């Protein structure tokens, strides 16, 4: 009964099992999405939009032939033939009973177990589908792994680029703030210096129409406050540079000498003495301008570096040392004679 059920199921449903597949032949023909009808000894019969065609195995690559193996239908073994038996003739009711009891050859053939061809075909199709499914799963996993790797690399690169851009942006903002602070202090210094020299020279705070009178005491304090304010801006600027930059001895000397030059204005106002900076091409005026240009060039350069708190404190101490008070206005020749580094 089990064999009969398999045969019936295979007969009814096997024609309905068809799969759409692609074929590429060695003569250049290609078949996309055709339906496999059956597999014969010399090729595969497919159903296309134009009709039924047979694709020879000889024109297929080995990988395609392996997916569609030909399985010949087994020939049923010959039925055993029983030797004739001499049975005495029977008449009447006994003969009719013997006729009904002995099965006919056709019934014997029908009841004989047939090989399960449908089961083999189904097993082959299932094996082929399993191989295709595993290949599809492996290719999908590989593509997913590649996509994740590319995304991870892109994320890492973008993050590094963003961090570098943010760092450079902050450095540019820091340099811009320092340059603006330096220029503001430099402008306040020269404005106060010229006003003080004018006051000392004319002993007045404005040009009168006639007559002369002494400089009011408040005006002197206002100029001194302006000079000290400019000094405080320079001090705070140099503190930032000493805290964030890796300054070498020559740069420390440059900042220290300029700080002492900057303090000469406050000292002149405090001592009620004029600053004799009349010639910008010689003397202290020239030394101050050279120091100022070198400091401005240093500020706009990129010199950020990590330092310990002790190193920052020592750098700032060297910059604010009174040692530079006696050497801030030296020329290059005088500085070279004393063993000091030259200005850049």
Contact 47, 37 (CB under 8 A): yes
Interior angle at CA 131, CA 129 and CA 136, nearest 5: 95
Look at residue 240 and tell me whether its pLDDT is greater than 60: yes
- Rounded to 5 degrees, φ, ψ at 203 are 55, 40
pLDDT of res. 314: 75
Confidence of residue 34 (pLDDT cuts 50, 70, 90): confident
Report the C-alpha gap between 188 and 311 in whole angstroms.
31
Look at residue 63 and tell me whether its pLDDT is greater than 50: yes
Task: Give how far Cα 238 sits from Cα of 5, 12, 113, 242, 260, Å.
Answer: 99, 96, 105, 6, 12
Is 0.75 surpassed by the pTM of this model?
Answer: no
Confidence of residue 144 (pLDDT cuts 50, 70, 90): very high
Report the C-alpha gap between 297 and 88 in whole angstroms.
137
Report the C-alpha gap between 152 and 147 in whole angstroms.
9
Averaged pLDDT for residues 317-334: 75
Nearest CA to 304 out of 237, 254, 246 is that of 246
pLDDT of res. 295: 87
Rg value, the chain, Cα:
54
Q: Is 206 exposed, middle or buried (0-12, 13-18, 19+ CB in 10 A)?
A: exposed
């Amino acid at each position: 009964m089990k064999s009969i059920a398999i045969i019936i199921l295979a007969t009814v449903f096997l024609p309905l099992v068809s799969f759409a597949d692609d074929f590429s032949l060695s003569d250049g023909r290609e078949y996309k999405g055709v339906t496999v009808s059956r597999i014969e000894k010399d090729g595969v019969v497919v159903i296309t939009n134009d009709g039924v065609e047979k694709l020879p195995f000889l024109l297929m690559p080995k990988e395609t032939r392996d997916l569609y193996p030909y399985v010949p239908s087994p020939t049923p073994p010959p039925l055993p033939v029983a030797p004739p038996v001499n049975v005495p003739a029977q008449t009447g009711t006994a003969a009719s009973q013997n006729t009904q009891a002995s099965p006919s050859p056709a019934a014997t053939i029908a009841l004989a177990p047939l090989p399960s061809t449908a089961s083999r075909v189904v097993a082959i199709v299932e094996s082929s589908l399993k191989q295709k499914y595993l290949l599809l799963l492996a290719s999908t996993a590989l593509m997913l792994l590649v996509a994740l790797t590319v995304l991870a690399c892109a994320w890492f690169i973008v993050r590094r680029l963003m961090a570098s851009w943010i760092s450079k942006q902050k450095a540019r903002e820091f340099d811009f703030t320092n340059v603006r602070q330096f220029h503001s202090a430099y402008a306040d210094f020269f404005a106060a210096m010229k006003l003080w020299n004018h006051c000392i020279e004319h002993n007045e705070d404005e040009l009168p129409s006639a007559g002369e009178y002494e400089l009011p005491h408040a005006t002197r304090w206002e100029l001194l406050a302006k000079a000290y304010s400019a000094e405080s801006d320079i001090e705070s600027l140099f503190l930032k540079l000493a805290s964030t930059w890796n300054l070498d001895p020559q740069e420390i000397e440059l900042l220290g000498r300029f700080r002492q030059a900057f303090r000469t204005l406050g000292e002149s106002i405090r001592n009620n003495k004029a600053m004799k900076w009349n010639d910008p091409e010689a003397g202290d005026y020239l030394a101050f301008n050279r120091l100022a240009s070198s400091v401005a060039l240093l500020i706009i350069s990129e010199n950020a570096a990590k330092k310990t708190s002790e190193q920052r404190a020592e750098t700032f101490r060297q910059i604010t040392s009174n040692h530079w008070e006696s050497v801030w206005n030296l020329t290059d020749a005088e500085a070279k004679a004393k063993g000091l580094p030259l200005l850049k």
